[in-house]
């Protein structure tokens, strides 16, 4: 993929996504009991999973789901996410709306956020909910990894929209990526070379999302962009102090990496590094207080573990009811790996726990 990119034949993410989708076509996922349709919500493609109607049944609950993949890979239509959303719809007897937002490199931030927000707001309209027989008081917003990032950002934006008549009851975030402020949290240090999502890969995803320059990767890795002399970052430092937000069992013996002098030009070149629509963990307390009841799933073997744990703590400090569901023996991305040949026990374990929480709270 990178050779093709180097030769300027195509972007490596386009090639990688093509390979993923080609492999995915080899799999077949049945959906006999769920009606699956594709639709367009305010210009954004979605896939809707509807359980069959039952006689004298009340309105159904619903989940808006936003898939992961570093804002650049996968699709609501791939078998991995198709299977997850189908099982959610079956297990919860719920209407699941899976958002097919546009990907990097076709578009970059903030377009993925805008796609997810537009599709969600369209679905939350009373007449649209009525069309799908959805109970307006029982709607959740959810997503995994980069989709968890978009779900959190969308939820924050919706909470500040005074014109909305319907708001989500819950948000459920699966190993979400929530900040690009500190790439040396204990989980980033502990899992820097962990397969599936090493630290350098996550940094490159951020650079691609922001349409930045790969030459900045090393400076980001050592936190030059948030050094003490970078004035734009000062006001955010207290919102992401992992020494106070993480329990000792996660901090272990790791030390903060705080540069005295850095490169303010990085923030000038990529201001989105401090944009809460991209980095929801940096939101102000007034916004966090408006968030709905929250579920956050984290995995020990994941650079993003501390993103989720810190967000849970900040929400809790703001008065939000939070369930932090941590798995010591699981890895980033595991919840979608439940189909042969990647049917892992970690995937079944995390998926069951996530669906159980939704069933009990939605």
Q: Which residues are catalytic?
A: 145, 302, 332
Closest CA to 145 of 109, 124, 176: 176
Helix (H) or strand (E) holding 124: none
| DSSP three-state, residue 69 | coil
Find where tokens 């093709």 sit. Answer: 4
For 217, the token pair is: 């990767």
Beta strand ranges found along 214-347 (DSSP E): 293-301, 322-331, 338-339, 342-343
Query: In this structure, what are the phi and psi dihedrals at residue 25, rounded to the nearest 5 degrees?
Result: -65, -15
- C-beta atoms surrounding 328 within 10 Å: 8
Note if the bond before 341 is cis, omega within 30 degrees: yes
Contact 183, 262 (CB under 8 A): no
The position carrying tokens 């009841």 is: 293
Say if residue 152 is exposed, middle or buried (CB neighbours under 10 Å; 0-12, 13-18, 19+): buried
Q: Which residue has the tokens 């890979």?
A: 73
Alpha carbon distance 357, 362 (integer Å)? 8
Residues belonging to the chain: 362
Q: How far is 17 from 3, CA to CA, in rounded Å?
A: 15
Query: Could you tell me which residues come within 8 angstroms of residue 237 by beta carbon, excluding any fewer than 6 positions away?
Result: 226
């Amino acid at each position: 993929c990178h050779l093709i990119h180097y030769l300027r034949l195509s972007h490596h993410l386009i090639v990688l996504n093509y390979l993923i989708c080609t492999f995915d076509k080899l799999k077949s996922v049945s959906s006999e009991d769920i009606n699956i349709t594709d639709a367009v919500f305010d210009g954004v493609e979605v896939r809707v999973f509807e359980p069959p109607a039952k006689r004298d049944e009340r309105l159904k609950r619903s989940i808006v789901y936003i898939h992961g993949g570093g804002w650049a890979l996968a699709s609501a239509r791939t078998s991995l996410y198709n299977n997850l959303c189908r099982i959610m719809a079956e297990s919860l007897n719920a209407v699941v709306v899976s958002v097919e937002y546009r990907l990097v490199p076709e578009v970059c931030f903030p377009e993925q956020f805008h796609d997810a927000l537009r599709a969600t707001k369209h679905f939350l309209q009373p007449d649209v909910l009525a069309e799908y027989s959805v109970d307006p008081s029982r709607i959740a917003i959810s997503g995994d990894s980069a989709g968890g990032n978009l779900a959190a950002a969308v939820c924050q934006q919706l909470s500040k929209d005074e014109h909305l008549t319907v708001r989500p009851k819950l948000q459920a975030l699966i190993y979400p990526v929530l900040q690009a402020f500190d790439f040396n949290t204990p989980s980033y240090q502990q899992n820097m070379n962990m397969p599936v999502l090493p630290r350098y890969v996550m940094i490159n995803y951020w650079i691609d999302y922001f349409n930045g320059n790969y030459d900045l990767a090393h400076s980001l890795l050592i936190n030059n962009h948030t050094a003490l002399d970078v004035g734009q970052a000062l006001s955010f430092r207290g919102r992401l102090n992992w020494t106070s937000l993480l329990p000792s069992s996660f901090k272990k013996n790791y030390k903060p990496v705080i540069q005295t002098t850095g490169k303010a030009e990085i923030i000038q070149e990529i201001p989105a590094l401090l944009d809460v629509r991209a980095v929801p963990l940096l939101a102000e307390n007034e916004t966090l207080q408006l968030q709905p009841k929250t579920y956050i799933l984290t995995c020990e073997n994941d650079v993003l573990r501390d993103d989720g744990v810190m967000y849970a703590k900040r929400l809790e400090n703001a008065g939000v009811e939070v369930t932090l569901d941590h798995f010591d023996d699981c890895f980033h991305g595991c919840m979608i790996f439940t189909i042969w040949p990647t049917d892992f026990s970690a995937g079944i374990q995390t998926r069951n726990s996530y669906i159980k929480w939704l069933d009990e709270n939605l």
